[in-house]
């Protein structure tokens, strides 16, 4: 029997611990989006992670990612997620994978607050290339 030996773990410079409370919300696409772990905050090189809070009636406007896939986990709540025009329910303790290039929109059409964790990766070559909006931001009509 052959035993595979792995190189010992080499300590690397770890980034700081990031608190949601200390991260300002981004409301440009709707809801309360907070990017916690990113190249800017911790020097990540493969993606970014954050939280999303949607109050009843709030929406994250439709957009898509040309370089990143997104993993969206619903911690609490019950929302309508539309993927390339196909509506589906996302309820507490469920998740959805959003492949690169898939248009997506999240609407809290329920009476309770919805809370999410999201992860996107790989990174776009530059931050401004990471999202393509296909719907006007909330309040701009």
Strand partners, 107: 59, 80
CATH of the domain spanning 46-116, picked from 1.10.580.10, 1.10.510.10, 1.10.3720.10, 2.60.120.10: 2.60.120.10
- Runs of H (alpha helix) within the chain: 39-42
* Distance separating alpha carbons of residues 26 and 15, to the nearest angstrom: 22
pTM: 0.86
Encode pLDDT of 42-94 as tens digits.
999 999 999 999 999 999 999 999 999 999 999 999 999 999 999 999 999 99
Contact criterion met (CB below 8 Å) for 28 and 83: no
57, 128 contact by CB (below 8 A):
no
Q: What is the pLDDT of residues 5-20, one digit of tens each?
A: 655 555 567 878 999 9
Number of other CB atoms surrounding residue 45 within 10 Å: 9
Domain ranges for the chain? 46-116
């Amino acid at each position: 029997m052959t035993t595979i030996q792995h190189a010992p773990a080499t300590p690397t410079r770890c980034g700081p611990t990031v608190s949601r409370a200390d991260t300002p919300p981004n409301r440009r696409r709707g809801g309360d989006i907070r990017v916690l772990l990113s190249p800017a905050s911790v020097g990540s090189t493969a993606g970014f992670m954050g939280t999303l809070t949607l109050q009843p009636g709030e929406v994250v406007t439709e957009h898509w990612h040309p370089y990143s896939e997104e993993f969206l986990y619903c911690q609490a709540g019950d929302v309508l997620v539309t993927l390339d025009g196909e509506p589906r329910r996302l309820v507490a303790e469920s998740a959805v994978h959003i492949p690169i290039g898939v248009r997506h929109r999240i609407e809290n059409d329920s009476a309770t607050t919805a809370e999410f964790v999201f992860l996107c990766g790989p990174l776009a070559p530059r931050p401004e290339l990471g999202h393509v909006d296909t719907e006007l931001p909330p309040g701009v009509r």
